[in-house]
Structure 1
Amino acid sequence: MLKQRLMWIAWPAFLMAGVLEMLVFATVDPGDLHWFGQPVTLSRQGVYTLAFFAFWAITMASSALTTLLSMSPFEVNRCPVPVDERPEDCARHACATDGKARQIS
């Protein structure tokens, strides 16, 4: 499930980073860029590469936030440790009542 969620985040972000790269550098020449008043000393290919990874990181953060916000409360509050293996002082320690486990707050 984790690998699937990572692909939900990384793959659309990769595609959008490519689109952003094309849109930005269709209008901006990397040779004309300045950083704090000084010309950028990287090659054009270096600027393209760094920009792509920056775009990818930003769009991955956006996709991750969307994935997080789409999770149900059950998924967010689910404890990965089985009920019978949880420590006694665990806030999510469940009591057995009628064969079902319920959470004690």
Structure 2
Amino acid sequence: MSAAKAEFSLRGIARARMDRIARGAGTSKERVYAYFSSKVALYRLVSAQELAAVAEATGTDPTDLPGYAGRGHDYFTDHPERFRLMSWGQLELDAGGSP
């Protein structure tokens, strides 16, 4: 997962390569495809895990929206690669999740 996160953060979905992800994970591309049907499916899982991490780190509180916005800003300032990871999905996938 960390190899996929690094690849997607750096290159986005379209330019990410499953062979680089596999090399980074110390496995074969075939093994990666055994678990994930496509690059988009792998991106969806990585981004869902990251979204959960963001939610946990920023602590959504409907009574403190300015504080929540500040925590979100601070989180992504401290972790710009995570902001890029999430942004690639917005740029490269339509609302239904298709490339």
- TM-score scaled by structure 2? 0.26
Where is the strand percentage greater, Structure 1 or Structure 2?
1
Where is the helix percentage greater, Structure 1 or Structure 2?
2
- TM-score scaled by structure 1? 0.25
Name the larger-Rg structure: 1
